[in-house]
Amino acid sequence: MNIRYGITEKEIEAARFCIDCASSLGAEGARVSLSKNVLDTVALLNGDIDKVTHCADRSIYLYLYIDGKYGTYSTNLLENEQLEDFVRRAVDATRMLTRDEFRKLPEASRCERNAVDGLELGLYDPAYAGITPRQRTEMAMAGSIFPGDDVRKNVPGDATDDARDDTSDDARDDARVKDAAPYRIISEECEWNDSVDDNYLIDSQGFEGRHTETSFSFWTEVTICAEDGKKYSGYSWKASTRLKDVSAGGCSQEALEKAVAQMNPKRVRSGKKTMVVDCNSSSRLVSPLLSALSASAIQQKNSFLEGCLGKKVFSQDFYLDDLARTPGKAGSRLFDTEGVATADRVVIEGGVVRMFFVNTYMAGKTGLEPTIEGVSRPVVRPFSSFGKSSVPDHSHNIPDTDTKVIPASARTNPDTQVIPNLSREEIMLQCGEGILVTGFNGGNCNQTTGDFSYGVEGFLFSKGKIIHPVREMVITGNMTELWNSLLAAGDDPREGTRWQIPTLAFKDVTFNS
Amino acid sequence: MKLSRDYFLKTFRTDVGQMEKIVAQALKEGGDWCDLYFEYTTYNELTLRDSEVTSGGFHIDYGVGVRVLNGERTGYAYSESTDYQDMLSAAKAASVISLSSRGGDTPLSSRSGSHLSSRPGDATTLSSGSSAVSGEIYPKPYYQSLHPWAEASSEAFIPFLKDLEQRIKSRDSRAAKVIARLSYSYTDTLMFNSLGELTCDSRPLGSVTVSVIYSSEGRNESKSASRSFRCGAEMIGEKLCEELVSEATRGIDALFEARRPKGGKMPVVMGAGASGILLHEAMGHAFEADFNRKGQSIFAEKMGQRICPQGIDIIDDGTIPGNRGACNFDDEGVPGQKTYMVSDGILTSYLHDRISARHYGVEPTGNGRRESFRFAPLPRMRATYMGNGTADPASIIADVRKGVFVDEFSNGQVKIGEGDFTFYVKSGFLIENGRLTAPVKDLNIIGNGPQALVDILAVGNDLKIDNGTWTCGKEQSVPVSVGMPTVLVKSLTVGGE
């Protein structure tokens, strides 16, 4: 298949040249990562074109292992003469550093062998090659709440010079949302993006791998002003590796509705409450866990999960997998940045920490078995503690083995499990009352201790129904305690995201207002 | 280091005639402005881990961005090659914006009338046109390299990083792990626009960060310190080392003792220096003119109005010598300036790039900045701080019966439209009956920016610019700095137990 804007044979030769050059200068090991990315964007402001950009990047990253020393270097000057000077300087710079016995290439047997043309995971959409500037504009405008009758007059790349005969104010008056609502639309910003990323990795041990993927997304944010002069914003987005899966229609309307829903927020009394976190925001609570599972953090004593491998730390209902090899899904990859083959793995199994993310260097430093350098596509399995009717049978998905690598026969993606209605609404209904968190506003988690404090926005709900938006609320606690209070995990992770984290519910979370 | 016009033209393998042709191509379909932004950056890093400097490297980034404006609409493309044909292709890609939109009625301003005569800088400013100051080298730059990074060997900095670690460990035996990192970059830029103005600048930036894990009785706590300056390798030395060691080892007892306080609304005293992050996030972004031009900012339509008590100045400054946010020129070729957004409590200026300046009919304020040639410029802050007040800092604390004092933040966030902000506080103290008592940590303070401004009760006379490695991430990453005198806010929500 011909990849539009893909890596050329000449560029692959440039990568090989770097390996050969480094070897000839005395490097005992070398790895080159060649990346090529093209991104096109059409941005609208109030339904009219605001910005059109075309970005095309390519770069070479060189990892050198010389005399037990290690350095990393990059350049986007890829002519052979320039590369020779680059590699020579890199070799000299590496020799200045201190020896480190643990810096080495991964064992060749751990590296992926089947990433030949970059298309194995089906992440490149051939439809990308056919996108025209006109289509980009049409797709951007399809999501707008402003009238789009004259889209064709405004398409960059067309041979027409018809100027759009409107103004922002006129367009705002004509917006489909015009009604007697107690607010006015301040602005609508929409953005269409499509991109291709082509990556080629080669090392001096003979490894070669390629990974190619396309990405398509639409994003919109609508800001309104209420009658009292206060402003509120709502956003919406869609994303996929497949063009056909990104339909922008209705996105801005959804963003507008989210903005309107935030009007007239009220303070809620502080205390311990049930918290439901919307699937658009729930990754924020998984991120500290994955950071703490990094061997680099553990080696530096900068992880609250140090010493937890094989121990039950979290709720027995909490299951987190890394489904790295799911065809067609964003985040999937056959090899990591070292070339090491990925696998579908259990990360947390019934609350037990089953793996750390250990690259070759950290394996040497810590004595841990090397695994993979980082998570690819984390997936939280759905469950509910409220009733057996919604509780999934995990057994089909949990390997009864110590390897923690999910065998192919059991490589079931929770996406596809048939679990009755574990939507956000169902979870809220099961929880009864609490706070629905729809966004985080600042905050942090102390990776060393697991203590966190986040600003949150969202809604008070009762009997599963939203009562009113809340304002100026903060949640505090500790990550270990939080994930021990897990009540439910939905079956609604956003399509098109690398992290498949659904709506989550926790009990007895400390809210301050 | 004084660099000539020819140095920059040679670096980017171009000349004025060629650039004029590229601009002409970019404006072929229409449009009322085009600028070219050439960049050549070399970024170097060295990392000490487990007592040895075992990793390092350098990274080269080279290219040119082409921007076409048609009214307030932007077409942008770039090339990683400055070969003529490649630049023409980028110009053609950027020109598509003009196929669909109308131009603005007001021309973009040239630099004439700006502060060229009073502005120092080591940059070269010149023009192919008749009004240019051709080849002039300014004697007092906002930044310069006495010992240029490009002429230094990385090997020379290894003893500094080792010394830094050893001093920390000898100062506090609980220091179990130390990661120290030196990064430095030097960027050459050349800007050319459709007015024929040509601007060149050479920008050094050096940063040192140190992160320490302290272990005591089975518990771990972390502490970090950083410094960043626009200067050469002369920053590496005893003074910097001692500053970092002092900050990285200060308050460790309190760190282990610290607890979250009981939450609620209470008076908050912001310590001098790093509290400026609150100003940056909660107020500064709302002063950026793009948010106001689009009507999204809480301060839209409030120009000339009182937004906080008398006596308060809020400033964004690109002219602090050697400061991380200093700009001889911004990334649109506008000279670096000091901009008062708030003077004596009155909103007096937004932070402008060329687009918003035209929209509001004012001169650009030198805030058009970008991460690299890969990005079109946006209104961005530089060094943002509140001017000194008159209060004695000790008396500010003494006036609080029950509240919190906060002086270390790790991050913050604001909702531009609503003005609601949240800041994560790494350390501070309870204030009880006018005295600092129990240490606190890992808490958030939240509030509303405009309301917090109105609620300022006292401003200290101890303005301090924090020279940490602050980076603003509004769509693109740019280096900034923050500053603040001690300030008392009447009431904010503190997230605690």
Domain CATH number, residue A152: 3.30.2290.10
The DSSP output letter for B433 is T
Which pLDDT band holds residue A37 (cuts at 50, 70, 90)?
A: very high
In the predicted structure, residue B127 carries a pLDDT above the cut 60:
no
Residue from B100, B410, B476 to probe the interface with A (highest A Cβ count within 10 Å): B100
Establish, for the pair of chains A and B, how many residue pairs have beta carbons separated by less than 8 Å.
254
Specify whether A369 is located in the same domain as A408: yes
Given a contact cutoff of 8 angstroms between Cβ atoms, the answer to whether B444 and A511 are in contact is no
pLDDT at B370 (0 to 100) = 97
Does some domain include residue A85? no
Using the beta-carbon criterion (under 8 Å), do B417 and A74 form an inter-chain contact?
A: no
To the nearest whole Å, the CA of A72 is away from the closest chain B CA by 5
Q: Domain check: are A184 and A276 in the same one?
A: no
pLDDT per residue as tens digits for the range B250-263: 999 999 999 888 88
Within 8 A of A441 by CB-CB distance, chain B residues are 413-415, 420-422, 446
Q: Which residues of chain B are within 8 Å of residue A94 when distances are taken between CB atoms?
A: 56
Structural domains of chain B in order of their starting residue, each with its CATH number: 5-137 (3.30.2290.10), 149-186+204-251 (3.30.160), 264-495 (no CATH)
Residue of A nearest to B262 (CA): A512
In 3D, which of A124, A107, A138 has the Cα closest to residue A42? A138
Which has more pLDDT, B9 or B125?
B9
Nearest to B332 by CA among B384, B292, B284, B370: B370
What confidence score (pLDDT) does residue A4 get? 85
Which candidate in B66, B80, B99 is best for mutational testing of the A interface (most A CBs within 10 A)? Answer: B99
Does residue A166 share a domain with residue A138? yes
Q: What is the pLDDT of residue A406?
A: 59
Based on the domain organization, do A256 and A277 belong to the same domain? Answer: no
Percent of residues, chain B, with pLDDT higher than 90: 76
**Do A329 and A462 fall within a single domain?**
yes
- Is the pLDDT confidence value at B424 over 90? no
- Give the domain range for residue A220: 126-199+212-261
Average pLDDT taken over every residue of chain A? 88
Could you read off the pLDDT of A259-297 as tens digits, one per residue? 999 999 998 988 999 999 999 999 999 999 999 999 999
Asked if the structure places residue A500 within a domain, the reply is: yes
**From A156, A443, A472, residue closest to B96, measured CB to CB:** A156
Is A235 inside a domain boundary?
yes
In a domain, A14, yes or no: no
Q: Is the dihedral of CA A161, A167, A170, A176 positive or negative?
A: positive
**Does A398 score more than 70 pLDDT?**
no
Domain assignment of residue A61, yes or no: no
Contact yes or no for A53 and B75 at CB 8 A: yes
Residues sharing a CB contact under 8 Å with residue A460, sequence separation 6 or more, in sequence order: A266, A268, A433, A434, A435, A436, A466, A467, A468, A469, A470
Question: Do A253 and A333 have their domain in common?
Answer: no
State the DSSP H helix or E strand holding residue B239, giving kind and residue range, or none if neither. Answer: helix B238-249
Instruction: Quickly list DSSP for B165-203.
Output: HHHHHHH-TTEEEEEEEEEEEEEEEEEEETT-EEEEEEE
Tell me, yes or no, whether A179 and A243 share the same domain.
yes
* Beta-carbon separation of A231 and B417 below 8 A: yes
Residue A19 forms part of a structural domain: no
Cβ-based contacts of A153 with chain B (< 8 Å): 100
Residues A254 and A287 in one domain: no
| Neighboring chain A residues of B103 at a CB cutoff of 8 Å | none
Residues from chain B contacting residue A73 (CB–CB below 8 Å): 57-59
Note whether B422 contacts A443, CB cutoff 8 Å. Answer: yes
ipTM for the predicted complex comes to 0.87
Q: Residue type for B70, please?
A: N
Taking CA atoms, what residue in B is nearest to A49? B73
Looking at A167-176, A332-341, B461-470, which range is the least confident one?
Answer: A167-176
Q: Mutate which of A36, A45, A50, A54 to disrupt the B interface (most B C-beta within 10 Å)?
A: A54
Which residue of chain B comes nearest to A61, CA vs CA? B59
Binary contact (B264, A270; C-beta < 8 A): yes
Q: Are residues A70 and B447, on separate chains, in Cβ contact within 8 Å?
A: no
Per-residue pLDDT at B43 exceeds 60:
yes
Residues A324 and A470 in one domain: yes
Contacts of B68 in chain A (CB under 8 A): none
B143 CA to chain A: closest CA distance, Å? 26
Cα A21 to Cα A7, A18, A49, A62, A84: the distances in Å are: 20, 5, 48, 11, 7
Residue pair A298/A304 in contact by the 8 Å Cβ criterion: no
What is the model's pTM? 0.88
Which pLDDT band, with edges at 50, 70 and 90, does B445 fall under?
Answer: confident
Please give the pLDDT value at position A159.
34
Cα angle A375-A378-A380, degrees, rounded to a multiple of 5: 150
Cβ <8 Å between A513 and B493: yes
- Give residue B80's pLDDT: 95
Tell me which residue in B415, B421, B424 faces A453 most closely, judged by beta carbons. Answer: B424
Phi first, then psi: give them for residue B431, nearest 5 degrees.
-110, 120
Structure-model confidence comparison of residues A509 and A149, the more confident one: A509
For position A512, what pLDDT does the model report?
84
Q: Quick one: average pLDDT of B472-479?
A: 92
CB contact (8 A) between residue A455 and residue B444: yes
> Which residue in this structure is represented by tokens 């009990």?
A507
Please give the Cα distance from B36 to B68 (Å, whole number). 9
What is the arithmetic mean of pLDDT over A376-386?
95
Which of A474, A475, A513 is the mutation pick for testing B, counting most B CBs within 10 A?
A474
Query: Who has greater pLDDT, B120 or A144?
Result: A144
- The whole-angstrom separation of Cα B102 and Cα A504 is 48
Number of folded domains that form chain A = 2
Domain check: are A156 and A301 in the same one?
Answer: no
Q: A50, B73: Cβ pair inside 8 Å?
A: yes
Say whether both A227 and A334 belong to one domain: no
* A103-112 exposure pattern, b = at least 16 Cβ within 10 A, e = fewer: bbbbeeebbb
Across the range A423-436, mean pLDDT stands at 96
Q: Which pLDDT tens digit goes with each residue over A57-110?
A: 999 999 999 999 999 999 999 998 899 999 999 999 999 999 999 999 999 999
Over the stretch B186-210, which tens digit does the pLDDT of each residue have? 999 999 999 999 999 999 999 999 9
Identify whether A17 is part of a domain: no
> Does the pLDDT of residue B366 top 90, yes or no?
yes
B336-340 mean pLDDT: 95
Least CB-CB distance to B493: which of A76, A449, A512?
A: A512
Residue A54 maps to a domain: no
Please list every residue in chain A whose beta carbon sits closer than 8 Å to the beta carbon of residue B50: 365
Q: What single-letter amino acid sits at B271?
A: G
pLDDT for residue A352 is more than 90: yes
A154 and A191: one domain? yes
Q: Which of B54, B416, B441 sits opposite A70 (nearest CB)?
A: B54
The more confidently predicted of residues A191 and A413 is: A191
